[in-house]
A and B are shown apart, each in its own frame.
Chain A
Amino acid sequence: MNLFTANNITKQFANHRALDDVSISVPEGSIFGLLGPNGAGKTTFIRIVNQIIAPDSGEVLLKGKPLQPSDIEKIGYLPEERGLYKKMNVGEQALYLSQLKGLSRPEAIKRLKYWFEKFEITAWWNRKVEELSKGMQQKVQFLVTIIHEPELLIFDEPFSGFDPINVNLLKEEILELKKKGATIIFSTHNMASVEELCDHIALLNNSRKILDGNVWEIRKTYKTNSFEVHFTGFDGNLGTVLPPAFEILDQSSVNEHERAIIRLPEKAIPNELLALLLPHVRIVSVHEIIPNMNDIFIRTVTEKQNLVTSSLTGES
């Protein structure tokens, strides 16, 4: 079941169209990656979900019902452009932001105590925000985002500004939240984290959705039946031993062995490749190359751009 559905969202700003007929569904209990180059419309989309701005047309459904103003309390949002009141005490500020999310004061204090201890920032409760390091400010921001235990969490570039140790801490927390049943929307450029965390993605480019689906499915559809083979005992060109249908994309020596990337003919299976190679080489390892999200991202975006440019030149 989808926790969150956006149907045919369009948003026009004065000079440009930020979102053009975008539909996105986020299954309940999943981590959803919202990807796209800068200016693709991700932030606009997220702001619409948060009811900071309203769409010109289209509908946004939360659990099948149109979004209500009171749904704000069911959503936690960590914006990309985030900050805190610099002159305010950390604890007071966290309390204020939690209360704005609808928690009562005693309840907010109770939960904040728990999280401050967990993140080891209890000693900072009475300090001013400006005395905190950037990483610590980010921690405070993260915990006030999740303090009201929202059903839908939206993180816009959550890992920027964190050191690797805190990135790990954050990842663990996010996975923990997922385990507890929260649905998470992730907006990011960091493709490694997308592969690691996301179940589904949608790729926005130039205000349109150009790709969406299950991460694994997408990667599978983008694979080209290519294999990476490591071997020893042969230092000539593999092309001499393979039929021309087997395309050698790359061959190089790595440490003590040779490495080759070979694209198989359609419908061919790796066994055929091995049968051809075995008489000549000693195999160290073989594995299929499944394109990572980074490649898919770059490929899809540039393809679309080329398409747009070619269609434009074709018209003119």
Chain B
Amino acid sequence: MKKIFLIIRREYLTRVKKRSFIVMTILGPLLMAAMVIIPVYLSTMSNETKNITVLDETGFFYGKFKDSDNIRFHYVVSDLNTSKENFDKSGDYALLYIPKTELSVPSSATLYASGQVNMNVKSYIRNIMSKQVEELKLEAKIQDLKLQGDSKATTTDILKSIQASVNIETIKIGKQGKEEKSYPEVSMVLAMFSGILIYMFIFMFGAQVMRGIIEEKTSRIVEVILSSVKPFQLMMGKIVGVAMVGLTQFLLWVILTTSIITVGTSFFMTKTHAKATTDQIMKSKTAGVMASQVPEGIVKEDNDTSTNEIFDAISSIDFPVMIGAFLFYFLFGYLLYAALFASVGSAVDSEADTQQFMLPITIPLVFSFIMAQFIIQEPTGPLAFWLSMIPLTSPVIMMIRIPYGVPYFQLVLSMVLLILGFIGTTWMAAKIYKTGILMYGKKPSYRELWKWIRY
């Protein structure tokens, strides 16, 4: 066991120290962050004044929306249908509709627009609304306390009870007045993104395992090492070591991307956000005076409205399951394929010879990737079901299905099958590896590989 750790350590350290790893680690997040920041930046560049009509049925928000550099608010008193019609003709940017609620405090609003609504505008509105709602709640609470004469309530209690989260739904109005929810199909994006990520990860790092084994074979170090460790230890050490490299890279990407985006967006958004941010600072100052023992999370909450937005959008998705499943399929999908890649690496003498054996590995992977678009259209169909059960395709396909909701028994079954598949391929790969790694000269045929497995 100690030796397998030594192998894992070497495989890990030599790869992490490589220049290509460092370059990839920095370049990846920059590219990903650029994909997020540039649209935000471009949207702040447009100085066009945006007219927003406010239809407030509650009456709490009259005059509360302050005009900013490029947002003008108009207040109307009318009903929703008339406003919509007017909005169509006016050419305004958006119509903000705050419906009357049963409860005393409103907590949701709808934003009608003809196009995609700018994130800045949305968070600007949300900021103002939640501030207003909190004030309302605080007032009500103080009234309450006065009535009850209760002095025991702590500031934390009060802060918690007035905490407001405002839900703004965006609806796109088409030319014919046809309405459609314009929420970017977060599920779809998420599904595709995680599917592609797993696909990429398997290919990139599986190929690294293969290349590492070919390197050991061609540099002829393999026999030196095999006099100290078992072939299986060497193979598993390499597979696990490379897996850890992959996880490290993934983790660094997540951390770097989020920090770049956070820094980047806050930098670009200062222009439009100037007012809102000063408001926030003011508020957090007063809050700071009020409660020194406030748990941090509470005050922070309204600082990151833009991330809230995404979380709002995917609140329908079972997140622990999503993340857990992602890590699971990420890891076991890789392990299953890495074993296959390892056996190919052991059977050949040079990378040029890998072609013929790569085919059976790439076909199921590429196939599941191509199938992804059909699965997205029908995530509960029989094709989706079967492909998410077969271990060779399940890592990609199941990740695509999960954002749409998958019954637990299917998920568990698929996971169990994947683990069994992993054990199966590793057993087979170990057999091929054991024989192949010491074979030089001739390129084996499939028949010979089969012989090695049974041997």
Q: Which residues of A contact B (CB under 8 A)?
A: 14, 47, 50, 52-53, 69, 72, 75, 77-79, 81-88, 96-97, 99-102, 141, 144
| Residue of A83, A84, A88 contacting most chain B CB atoms (<10 Å) | A83
- B224:A77 contact, CB within 8 angstroms: yes
17 contacts between A and B (CB under 8 A): A14-B448, A50-B227, A52-B223, A52-B231, A69-B230, A78-B224, A79-B223, A79-B224, A79-B227, A81-B440, A82-B224, A83-B221, A85-B221, A87-B14, A88-B14, A97-B225, A100-B6
- B223:A72 contact, CB within 8 angstroms: no
- A14:B455 contact, CB within 8 angstroms: yes
- B220:A82 contact, CB within 8 angstroms: yes
| Bound form: Cα–Cα A285–B183 in Å | 108
Q: Chain B, 162-178, contact with A by CB distance < 8 Å: what is the 0/1 string? A: 00000000000000000
Minimum CB–CB distance from B242 to chain A (whole Å) comes to 15
By a CB distance below 8 angstroms, the chain A residues around B10 are: 96
- A84:B221 contact, CB within 8 angstroms: yes
Instruction: List the B residue with the shortest CB-CB distance to A97.
Output: B224
By a CB distance below 8 angstroms, the chain B residues around A69 are: 230
Tell me which of A14, A75, A77, A99 contacts B6 (CB under 8 A): A99
Given contacts A14-B448, A14-B455, 12 further A-B contacts (CB under 8 A): A52-B226, A52-B438, A79-B220, A79-B227, A82-B223, A84-B219, A84-B221, A85-B14, A87-B14, A100-B225, A100-B229, A144-B224
B228 interfacial by beta-carbon distance below 8 Å: yes
Tell me which of B3, B219, B451 contacts A83 (CB under 8 A): B219
- B6:A96 contact, CB within 8 angstroms: yes
| Bound form: Cα–Cα A99–B4 in Å | 11
Number of residues from B at the complex interface, CB < 8 A: 24
| Bound form: Cα–Cα A78–B221 in Å | 10
A interface, over-half SS: loop
Minimum CB–CB distance from A93 to chain B (whole Å) comes to 9
By a CB distance below 8 angstroms, the chain A residues around B220 are: 79, 81-83
- A14:B221 contact, CB within 8 angstroms: no
Instruction: List the A residue with the shortest CB-CB distance to B212.
Output: A85
| Bound form: Cα–Cα A144–B231 in Å | 20
Tell me which of A14, A47, A86, A100 contacts B3 (CB under 8 A): A100
Instruction: List the A residue with the shortest CB-CB distance to B231.
Output: A52
- B6:A141 contact, CB within 8 angstroms: no
By a CB distance below 8 angstroms, the chain A residues around B228 are: 72, 97, 100-102
- A75:B221 contact, CB within 8 angstroms: no
Instruction: List the B residue with the shortest CB-CB distance to A100.
Output: B228
Minimum CB–CB distance from A280 to chain B (whole Å) comes to 61
- A85:B224 contact, CB within 8 angstroms: no
- A82:B3 contact, CB within 8 angstroms: no
Take A96-B6, A100-B6 as given contacts and tell me if A83 and B438 are in contact as well, using a CB distance cutoff of 8 Å: no
| Bound form: Cα–Cα A72–B440 in Å | 24
Minimum CB–CB distance from A36 to chain B (whole Å) comes to 19
| Bound form: Cα–Cα A53–B438 in Å | 10
Instruction: List the A residue with the shortest CB-CB distance to B10.
Output: A96
Instruction: List the B residue with the shortest CB-CB distance to A105.
Output: B6
By a CB distance below 8 angstroms, the chain B residues around A84 are: 219, 221, 224
Tell me which of A77, A87, A99, A102 contacts B227 (CB under 8 A): A77
| Residue of B228, B229, B231, B438 contacting most chain A CB atoms (<10 Å) | B228
Instruction: List the B residue with the shortest CB-CB distance to A14.
Output: B451
- B224:A141 contact, CB within 8 angstroms: yes
By a CB distance below 8 angstroms, the chain B residues around A81 are: 220, 223, 440
Instruction: List the A residue with the shortest CB-CB distance to B229.
Output: A100
Q: Chain B, 203-220, contact with A by CB distance < 8 Å: what is the 0/1 string? A: 000000000000110011
Take A87-B14, A88-B14, A96-B10 as given contacts and tell me if A82 and B221 are in contact as well, using a CB distance cutoff of 8 Å: yes
| Bound form: Cα–Cα A101–B226 in Å | 11
Minimum CB–CB distance from B206 to chain A (whole Å) comes to 20
| Bound form: Cα–Cα A166–B220 in Å | 22
| Bound form: Cα–Cα A96–B9 in Å | 10
Minimum CB–CB distance from B224 to chain A (whole Å) comes to 6
By a CB distance below 8 angstroms, the chain B residues around A82 are: 220-221, 223-224
- A75:B227 contact, CB within 8 angstroms: yes
Task: Give B221-254 interface residues, CB cut-off 8 Å to A.
Answer: 221, 223-231
Instruction: List the B residue with the shortest CB-CB distance to A148.
Output: B228
- B6:A85 contact, CB within 8 angstroms: no
Minimum CB–CB distance from A286 to chain B (whole Å) comes to 49
Cβ-closest 7 pairs across A and B: A83-B220, A77-B227, A83-B219, A100-B228, A79-B223, A81-B220, A83-B221
Minimum CB–CB distance from A142 to chain B (whole Å) comes to 11
Instruction: List the A residue with the shortest CB-CB distance to B218.
Output: A83
| Bound form: Cα–Cα A38–B226 in Å | 22
By a CB distance below 8 angstroms, the chain B residues around A52 are: 223, 226-227, 231, 438
By a CB distance below 8 angstroms, the chain B residues around A141 are: 224
Task: Give B399-455 interface residues, CB cut-off 8 Å to A.
Answer: 438, 440, 448, 451, 455
